[in-house]
Amino acid sequence: MSWWLPLFGAALFWVLARYFLRVRQEARRAPEWRIDPDDPLLPQAFERARAARSEFEALFYQRPRDTFVRIAASDAQADERFAWVRLVELGEDEMKVCDPVPPMAAGADEPAPYTVPRAALEDWQVELPDGNIRGGFTLEVQFLRAAQAWNGLPPWMAEQHVRYVDHVWSREEAAQKPEGA
């Protein structure tokens, strides 16, 4: 047997292994799913969140550690246009919030809470004991636009989407392309 045959086989194996690993990694990586801040559905989502404010308040008092609110970045300590923060205290005109502790920092001290006007609240979500989530109306817009852009949701995202019990837009609407796309 020639000396080059095992060398060629090893090189071919290495090239194919690298190729298939890259294909597998690309399949797992979903495109970024940020939503356009000028999306025409966002004002409707904000309105739905405001309309369900009494439910939000009741759920907050039942599940304070599992309540998050979306606030405008001008009121958040963030670099983005908005931030999801944990609600600590709900007052008549103000809310006390804190930035969530990343999962990788388990055991780390929770950041100090800060106060924002209650009017800064754009959306809310509360995780229930059964794992379902109430609220998250702006996230519904993100799920809808992701489904339109990617011709359906990737499995990991679909698993999260079904947990949001207040989402009302249908799969048919998700299949429709947005205007101008």
Query: Are 164 and 136 spatial neighbours (Cβ–Cβ below 8 Å)?
Result: yes
The pLDDT of residue 180 is: 44
CB atoms within 10 A of CB 55: 14
pLDDT, position 17? 74
Give me the pLDDT at residue 62, please.
95
Report the chain's terminal Cα–Cα distance, integer Å.
Answer: 59
Alpha-carbon gap, residue 167 to 146, rounded angstroms: 14
Domain ranges of the chain: 1-30, 42-175
Say what the pLDDT of residue 51 is: 94
Residue 50 three-state SS: helix
Q: Can you give the pLDDT of all 181 residues of the chain as single tens digits? A: 577 777 777 777 777 777 777 766 655 555 566 778 889 999 999 999 999 999 999 999 999 999 999 988 664 454 456 788 999 999 999 999 988 766 655 666 777 889 999 988 999 999 999 999 999 999 999 888 888 888 888 888 888 898 998 887 654 554 454 454 4
| pLDDT the model gives residue 88 | 93
CA distance 86 to 97: 6
C-alpha to C-alpha distance for 72 and 25, rounded to whole angstroms: 34
Q: What is the pLDDT of residue 105?
A: 57
User: How far apart, in whole angstroms, are the C-alpha atoms of residue 86 and residue 38?
Assistant: 25
Residue 157, pLDDT score: 85
What single-letter DSSP state applies at residue 164? B
Q: How far is CA 86 from the centre of its chain?
A: 14
Give residue for tokens 């489904």: 147
The alpha carbon dihedral of 11, 15, 21, 24 has a sign of negative
pTM for the structure as a whole: 0.71
